[in-house]
Amino acid sequence: MKELELKISNGKAHFKKPVKIKKRFTETEKRKLAKASQDFESVLTTMMLKSMTKTTGGLLGKNNYGGDVLDVLFETKIAEKISQTKKLGIADKIFKSLTNEELTTFKKNIAKMSNKQIDKHQYKKFIDKKDLNLNEKALKRLKKFDLYIKDAAKKFNVDEKLIKSVILTESSAKADAKSKANAKGLMQLVDSTANYLGVKNVWDPKENIMAGTKYLSELLKTFNGNTELALAGYNAGPGNVLKHKGIPPFKETQNYVKRVKNYLNNLD
């Protein structure tokens, strides 16, 4: 079979415009990009292995029983291992060209967040066992949105009590709440987050709860189900959580996590 040849009459013509790199990806988006980069390198490595073993009839030779199937399995596994151990570095180059970050560093940070056990003595500074007095008026307001909260919890697989606790902490269940930082509605969405989540009307309780819960679910996935880190990310941004390798040393964020956790422990 004749090999394909690429004909390029003018190499520079193919690169008239520089590739635009998105300035900021969410942590969830970066995880997807990391996986896609590694998958691409794995596929490319598989193709290289096939080409290298073509003259010998594959990894297991020409006359072995079930060789075609076993070859594919072995080649795939070997390619995955090569990609994971960074032998080629293609995944790293792709990831860095898109995010301007090192793939290995990003993976290490995620691993640290996944396995990190928060020091009990450090945590005790801002999480105590004393219950907060639940505001009856706030609870009454919150009850109006029960149906929206149930729908959001089911759609994004987030605990209803966690959503309620965030709403009580963020806005005291006031749909028209607006902070000094211009965060709006029940789950206090800032404009950039609302735009990222595709919110059309941030003041609509249903849309606000759906968007806030979606963002919360992304943070929970980013930090592998660690509620405290997800809450810290909701308040201070996931980048700060990664930077400080845990709940950031910000008094506001520490108090925020404390309040949400206490609501979570006391809601029926």
Tell me: the pLDDT tens digits for 246-264?
999 999 999 999 999 999 9
Give the per-residue pLDDT at 63: 53
Question: Rounded mean pLDDT of 184-205?
Answer: 94
Last residue of a domain, one of 114, 149, 172: 114
In this structure, are 145 and 63 located in the same domain? no
| Buried residues in 230-250 as b, exposed as e (16+ CB within 10 A) | bbbbbbbbbebbbeeebbbee
In this structure, are 110 and 130 located in the same domain? no
In this structure, are 110 and 197 located in the same domain? no
Residue 106 lies in a domain: yes
Last residue of a domain, one of 81, 98, 114: 114
Residue 3 lies in a domain: no
In this structure, are 140 and 227 located in the same domain? yes
Angle at 13 between CA 10 and CA 19, to 5 degrees: 140
- Catalytic, 170? Answer yes
Catalytic residue selected from 27, 170, 207, 218: 170
Question: Rounded mean pLDDT of 233-254?
Answer: 91
Between 14 and 123, where is the model more confident?
14
In terms of residue numbers, what domain contains 225? 118-266
Average pLDDT score over the chain: 76
Q: What is the CATH number of the domain that holds 203?
A: 1.10.530.10
Residue 194 lies in a domain: yes
Count how many domains the chain has.
2
**CB contact set of 171 (below 8 Å; sequence gap of 6+):** 177, 185, 186, 187, 188
* 186-192: long-range pairs with CB below 8 Å, 24+: 186/145, 186/212, 187/211, 187/212, 187/213, 188/212, 189/215
Per-residue pLDDT reduced to its tens digit, 214-223: 999 999 999 9
Give the per-residue pLDDT at 62: 53
Question: Rounded mean pLDDT of 190-215?
Answer: 94
Percent of all residues in the chain with a pLDDT value above 70, rounded to a whole number: 65
pLDDT score of 224 more than 50? yes
Last residue of a domain, one of 114, 142, 173: 114
In this structure, are 84 and 132 located in the same domain? no
Give the per-residue pLDDT at 173: 94
